[in-house]
Amino acid sequence: MARKSAPSNPQAGTERARPILHQHSREIQPYGKIAKLSIALDENVCAASVENLNQVLADTITLRDLYKKHHWQVVGHTFYQLHLLFDKHYEEQDALVDEIAERIQLLGGVSLAMAADVAETTIIPRPPRGREEAPVQISRLLEAHEILLKEARTMARQASEAGDDGTNDLLVSDIIRTNELQVWFLSEHLVDVPLVKADAPANTKAASAD
């Protein structure tokens, strides 16, 4: 019985099933330009909100990643508590990142996405690559939160004055309130109180000295 020969072209007839690779074209929307959607907002209002939100986005991404860095690198007798707290705050900031980026897109803008672009845009100071003590980690996070809260409050007022209620609501209800709550949880870790034996009141100390 004659042996069947292999087909001369194994890919024959599969043209429509093969992926089209190495494709390139122009951007469909340059960064900084608005593709206006029917959301009853003036294009100039959308452009201003997009610019503000991209700054908040860059700083939120930076804060989010700072939490993950500290989650991995925390050390000391509060390791377990801070390890969990830092990761919880990371997840909450990550949710904000998505909300901010989606708001930018629905305003007709283009959201920042890549690490290099975020690094060029953020105003939060860059931490060292190495590990730091827990009090320093917390202080660094609190400073980043304060930067974010200052800009979010200013931008919320601007959005309100421009009639961009959706952006104002995002900034106030989500970004400001989330960051304020996280500041509270962090700050309580820097209160210098005894772990086992409470300090005696000042008058008690004076009486014992007599």
Structure confidence by residue, pLDDT tens digits, 3-25: 666 557 777 778 888 899 999 99
Distance CA 45, CA 69 (A): 36
| Tens digit of each residue's pLDDT (9 = 90 or more) over 59-83 | 999 999 999 999 999 999 999 999 9
Domain membership flag for residue 9: no
56 assigned to some structural domain: yes
**Given this model, what pLDDT does residue 11 score?**
72
Please indicate, yes or no, if residue 35 is contained in any of the structural domains.
Answer: no
User: Considering its fold, how many domains does the chain have in total?
Assistant: 1
Domain around 166 = 42-190
pLDDT exceeds 70 at position 2: no
What pTM does this model have? Answer: 0.89
> Residue 204 pLDDT > 70, yes or no?
no
Task: Give domain status of residue 203, yes or no.
Answer: no
In a domain, 71, yes or no: yes
Q: Which conformational region is residue 75 in: left (phi greater than 0), alpha (psi within -120 to 50 degrees), or beta?
A: beta
197 lies in a domain? no
106 vs 132: CA distance, rounded Å: 40
Helix (H) or strand (E) holding 75: none
**CATH classification at residue 151:** 1.20.1260.10
